[in-house]
Amino acid sequence: MFHAKSKLNILREMADIIYTLVPEARFDIDDKGIHIKAVDPSRIAMIALDLNSSAFEEYDADDTSFGVDMEKLRDVLKLGSLDADTTLDKDEESNLFIVKVGNITRKMPLIDDSNMTEPKVPSLDLPAKVIAPVVEIKKGVSAAKSIGDNIILMIDENGFDLTSKSEGADQASLHLSKEDLIELDVKAPAKSTYPLDYFSKIISTIKSPNVTLKIGSDYPLDLSFDIASGNGSVKYLLAPRVENY
């Protein structure tokens, strides 16, 4: 069985984050919380999300897993105010996922998760790491959107740089010095290029004030942040794009 109750804003945050990559997701449930791992259809990005039981006002669960249509879940979560009481239930007999938002009840068939294999999240030993204010990263992304399709991330002893270039002279960049960052840890300088559309979608969902970025030269980006006021966490891995500039 599975029953959970929380304020709507917590579940909307979770649903919006997952929907950035996949339209359907497998929910792995245990007594510690909800766990979701997924790879986008193009296999460019991977996500691992954990929403702890401590994020809920009520939480009662046996070990189980089931597939959820994330678009349907997001649609019903748009029907209430952010502080609305929201419950999630798995009905074993009818094989339905039941979502209640205030006075609205939405019943949806569970998706067969037998083909939703759980991806293995690789452990990457990346040499450069920053913890940066999300608001600054969002400014850099906004500046980059009108320039090109890719962004270049660089971390060295001087700080963090986000740059977008066009084939001509058009360029936009963000520089955060060591003083602008919450943390700077550089074992070796690193620089890598990533698809801007993926990076932008990921950054747009972050409500935490800070984000952790780890990179290596032409290695996947490891991006992580807290959710649900610290009662959960998210990790994205984003494949690099090798470009000649």
DSSP-assigned letters across all residues of 72-140: HHHHHHTSS-TT-EEEEEEETTTTEEEEEETTEEEEEEPBP-TT-PPPP------SEEEEEEHHHHHHH
- Domains along the chain? 2-109 (3.10.150.10), 128-238 (3.70.10.10)
Torsions phi, psi for 8 (to 5 deg)? -60, -35
For each of the chain's 245 residues, which pLDDT tens digit applies?
A: 999 999 999 999 999 999 999 999 999 999 999 999 999 999 999 999 999 999 999 999 999 999 999 999 999 999 999 999 999 999 988 999 999 999 999 999 999 887 777 788 888 999 999 999 999 999 999 999 889 899 999 999 999 999 999 877 789 999 999 999 999 999 999 999 999 999 999 999 999 999 999 999 999 999 999 999 999 999 999 999 875 54
Read off the pTM.
0.93
CA distances from 222 to 23, 68, 226 (A): 22, 26, 14
